[in-house]
DNA sequence: TGTACATCAGTGAACGCGCGTTCACTGATGTAC
DNA sequence: TGTACATCAGTGAACGCGCGTTCACTGATGTAC
């Protein structure tokens, strides 16, 4: 038996899940609160029971999206596996379930501090896991940057063959076999 | 003596210049036509004499921004010089005059085909200049991607020391001395 | 256990506001003769 | 060269429309006794 409190938490989680996907697919500014609520199976009038504002929701949605990436600190995904999934046609073609930095990085960096901090925190935690020596960190940072930049170029490029060539170039650069 | 036709072309150029800067600084959706026209020294009512729609202006502004990058095909900037300028605190802190891919890549890739093609064309032309062999192209593509990804992470990261570390890591990765 | 009342998640309608677009107007430039 | 008319870049005001937000209301859940 689910209590009223639990049901509310489930609704809240459904809203965040829907927002996290829609924002990455279409951009924060191009998704209305009404669309998010609809995707979560509700009407938009219920929104303020869960969030103080759209900005508040954006923060939670970014946190969710950021936390989906790279496994947990307890069980990190090996880099090769991570990169092979990251630089793939599937990831390129499905931003809604993909990397939040490649999907929303620039617009979040221009936005309010409140939401920028969410991604800044993720970057800080991620880099902290990269290693202790400056060399380890530097190498891991630049590999990560290569993944992000490659995906962004691949999503823009036309025709498909060029986009595929970009992904292949990225895979080579981070040490994956073809 | 400037003719009326020349004056109009100058106005048009001023609008595109202002838009190109403002869009990169704050995002296409967060800059109104009125703001662009104001920055160009006019009121917004004159806008339709120059552009069929905001989308039309966005296309021109992206083309302008893309063409500013990397020198001309006739006199390309050497990679080391390009990268040293690209991965700098100045570029990180002034997106309005910087790389259009790092500033607007993701949102343009989600947008209408009309504007996406502008950046896709630039990517195609740029990669064509990278060389003839697949190896040359692949290496140049991945270096370019590293620049873009590094700048995006550096613009998001906090505190400043971490952002600087990210830039330094990118510089090392593309072969620049510290 | 039952009853009466309180709470509040979610509904549906309405509100301002900002933005892209449209348009009548003006006055300087350009053209025809 | 001069004059009368046409053009049209730019102005300023107004228009719809979509969006974030607000709010009275409802009815199921929760609480008090």
Task: Give which of B114, B164, B137 is closest to A166, Cα–Cα.
Answer: B137
Say yes or no for a CB contact (<8 Å) between B106 and A108.
no
Contact A80, A143 (CB under 8 A): no
Three-class DSSP labels, A79-93 = HHHHHHHHCCHHHHH
When mean pLDDT is compared across A73-77, A87-91, A145-149, B125-129, the lowest value belongs to: A73-77
For residue range A112-149, what is the model confidence (pLDDT) as tens digits? 999 999 999 999 999 999 999 999 999 999 999 999 99
Angstrom CA distances, B165 to B151, B161, B173, stand at 11, 6, 12
Cα B10 to Cα A19: distance, rounded to the nearest angstrom? 43
Backbone angles phi, psi at A42, to 5 degrees: -135, 175
Using a cut of 0.85, tell me whether the model's pTM lies above it. yes
In this prediction, residue B70 has a pLDDT band, given cuts at 50, 70 and 90, of low
Surface of A (116-155) touching B: CB under 8 A: 116-117, 119-120, 123-124, 127, 137-139, 141-142, 144-150, 152-153, 155
pLDDT of residue B24: 98
Contact A92, A167 (CB under 8 A): yes
Find the Å distance, CA of residue A126 to C1' of nucleotide D31.
Answer: 47
What's the count of helices (H) and strands (E) in chain A, helices before strands? 9, 0
Please determine, for residue A72, whether its predicted confidence score (pLDDT) is greater than 90. no
Q: In chain B, which residue's Cα lies nearest the Cα of A156?
A: B109
For residue range B76-105, what is the model confidence (pLDDT) as tens digits? 789 999 999 999 999 999 999 999 999 999
When mean pLDDT is compared across A69-73, B21-25, B27-31, the lowest value belongs to: A69-73
Query: In the structure encoding, which two tokens stand for residue B90, read together?
Result: 């100045």
Q: Calculate ∠ Cα B159-B164-B165, nearest 5°.
A: 100
Say yes or no for a CB contact (<8 Å) between B106 and A102.
yes
pLDDT of residue A91: 98
Give nearest nucleotide to B29 (CA–C1'). Answer: C19
Nucleotides of D strand lying within 7 Å of any protein CB atom: 8-13, 18-24, 29-30
For residue range A88-115, what is the model confidence (pLDDT) as tens digits? 999 999 999 999 999 999 999 999 999 9
Long-range contacts (CB closer than 8 Å, 24 or more residues apart) made by A159-166: A162/B123, A162/B124, A162/B127, A163/A92, A164/A89, A165/B127, A165/B137, A165/B138, A165/B141, A166/B123, A166/B127, A166/B141, A166/B145
Q: How far is CA B161 from the centre of its chain?
A: 25
- Give the DSSP per-residue string, B140-162: HHHHHHHHHHHHHHHHH-SSHHH
Cα B47 to Cα B6: distance, rounded to the nearest angstrom? 17
pLDDT of residue B40: 98
CB burial readout B151-165, b (16+ within 10 A) else e = bbbbbbbeeeebbeb
Instruction: Return the SS3 of A50.
Output: coil
Angstrom CA distances, B140 to A94, B54, B79, B80, stand at 26, 34, 9, 12
Backbone angles phi, psi at A99, to 5 degrees: -60, 125
In this prediction, residue B4 has a pLDDT band, given cuts at 50, 70 and 90, of confident
- Give the DSSP per-residue string, A115-152: HHHHHHHHHHHHHHHT-SSHHHHHHHHHHHHHHHHHHH
Contact A1, A10 (CB under 8 A): no
Q: Check whether residue A42 has its CB closer than 7 Å to nucleic acid strand C.
A: yes
Q: Which bin fits A148, alpha (ψ -120 to 50), beta or left (φ > 0)?
A: alpha
Those residues whose C-beta lies under 8 Å from the C-beta of residue B5, and which sit 6 or more positions away, are: none
Query: What proportion of chain A, given as a percentage, has pLDDT over 90?
Result: 90
pLDDT of residue B69: 80
């Amino acid at each position: 038996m689910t209590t009223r409190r639990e049901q509310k938490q489930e609704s809240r989680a459904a809203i965040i899940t829907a927002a996290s996907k829609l924002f990455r697919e279409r951009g924060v500014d191009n998704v209305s609160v009404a669309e998010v609520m609809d995707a979560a199976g509700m009407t938009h009038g219920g929104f303020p029971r869960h969030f103080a504002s759209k900005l508040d929701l954006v923060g939670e949605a970014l946190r969710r999206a950021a936390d989906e990436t790279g496994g947990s600190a307890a069980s990190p995904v090996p880099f090769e596996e991570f990169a092979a999934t990251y630089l793939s046609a599937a990831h390129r073609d499905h931003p809604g379930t993909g990397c939040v930095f490649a999907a929303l990085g620039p617009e979040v960096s221009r936005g309010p501090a409140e939401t920028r901090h969410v991604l800044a925190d993720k970057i800080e935690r991620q880099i902290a896991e990269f290693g202790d020596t400056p060399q380890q960190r530097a190498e891991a940072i630049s590999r990560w940057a290569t993944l992000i930049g490659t995906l962004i170029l691949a999503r823009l490029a036309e025709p498909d063959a060029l986009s595929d060539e970009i992904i292949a170039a990225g895979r080579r650069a981070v040490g994956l076999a073809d």
